[in-house]
Amino acid sequence: MTRRSPTVRRRRLGFELRRLREAADLNIDQVAKALECSDSKISRIETGRVSATPRDVRDMLELYQVSNEQRDALIQIAREARQKGWWHEYNDVPIVPAYVGLEVAAASVRVYDPLLVPGILQTVEYAEAVIRSVFPKLPREEIERRAELRMTRQSLLTQDDPLMLWVVLDEAVLHRLAGECAVAREQLHRLIEKAKLPNVTLQVLPFAAGMHAGVDGAFTIIGFDEPADPDLVFLEHAAVALYLETAEEVDRFALLFDQLRGAALDPGASADFIAALAKEL
């Protein structure tokens, strides 16, 4: 796997096209009229929801009167954005390829979850139990396929340039059994094992912390190395995925995460806490 992702390239291209349009003092309606297309198409390109063809990008940049050098660079990004990543094989799984395409290219991911172990740390048995609980009518084959994707994503933690992962779990996650006791015990051991990786930090937010800043629910902050790819926040509720991208929104959740990790047990104490629960099982 590689840090370069067509999903992120598409997002960067959209940012640049919007910036250049605004610098040219043009609105979306004017661009759509000049290119003889719908304004919704221009909007979807700028928000990274769809891939722009190199021809689309060339026409837009001619309208914005950018230099040949900049035009060539952005057309190349457009070509890269239309490539397929390995996760496109899982297009039938919800939240794919959008989220995974971002995760693959991320330098860091910070997760707070009050209910479940994040997919990137789940065992296959735990994953299948969770999926079966949320979607009881799913055929066995679909459950296995969704779990398979979660297992494939975990290689991001052990590749040559690994993802930096920081997870804060509410204590409730550790008590919420998924499947038989053996499944829960194996999942707890998996958490201890993954927490030993130098690029993984795992903390438990105990009940003793009382009311805390994360009572509104789970969230994920995805961070990138390149300044041209700003960080974003991912929120998932039922079948709805929401991405927050403004600097104010990202800063708010970053502060929230700092408050949660400050209230949580330190990594060493968290590992001991999880090990004690596993022993009880």
In a domain, 1, yes or no: no
Residue percentage of the chain with pLDDT more than 70: 97
In a domain, 121, yes or no: yes
What pLDDT is stored for residue 190 in this prediction? 97
Same domain for 69 and 100, yes or no, is: no
Task: Name the residue range of residue 38's domain.
Answer: 6-83
* pLDDT 10s digits, 65-104: 999 999 999 999 999 988 888 888 888 887 665 789 999 9
In a domain, 187, yes or no: yes
Q: Which long-range contacts (CB under 8 A, 24 or more apart) does 78-84 make?
A: 78/13, 78/51, 78/52, 78/53, 78/54, 79/54, 80/4, 80/6, 80/9, 81/6, 81/9, 81/10, 81/13, 81/51, 81/52, 82/6, 82/51, 82/53, 83/6, 84/6
Same domain for 214 and 242, yes or no, is: yes
Total-model pTM = 0.88
